[in-house]
Amino acid sequence: MRPLVWEHVMKLTAIIEREGAGFVSLCPEVDIASQGETIEQARDNLREALTLFFECAAPAEIQSRLKQEVYVTQVEVAVG
């Protein structure tokens, strides 16, 4: 029987935007990006990249890259 392992779950920001024929995803809290052919694939690939980062990075690297406060908002700007 496999031992029960409790994992810490973090909620992180995923910003996804179209780039060419696909999508790019970015997590600004740790400055990690990925991509995919669909929004869902870009999100899933970002989740995988984040999981690998937290599994492999030294605690000091995680602390130095992890931003505690990230705000995503919109602004209005006059153009033309």
pLDDT at 2: 63
- Tell me how many domains the chain contains: 1
pLDDT (tens digit per residue) in 24-66: 999 999 999 999 999 999 999 999 999 999 999 999 999 999 9
The pLDDT of residue 1 = 60
Residue 73 belongs to domain spanning: 1-80
Give the predicted TM-score (pTM) of the model.
0.84
Cα–Cα distance, 14 to 21 (Å, whole number): 19
Per residue in 5-16, pLDDT tens?
667 888 999 999
The whole-angstrom separation of Cα 43 and Cα 35 is 8
pLDDT at 20 over 80: yes
> Could you tell me where the DSSP H helices lie in 1-80?
39-56, 59-65
What distance lies between CA 39 and its chain's CA centroid? Answer: 13
In this predicted structure, what is the pLDDT of residue 8?
82
CATH code (residue 54): 3.30.160.250
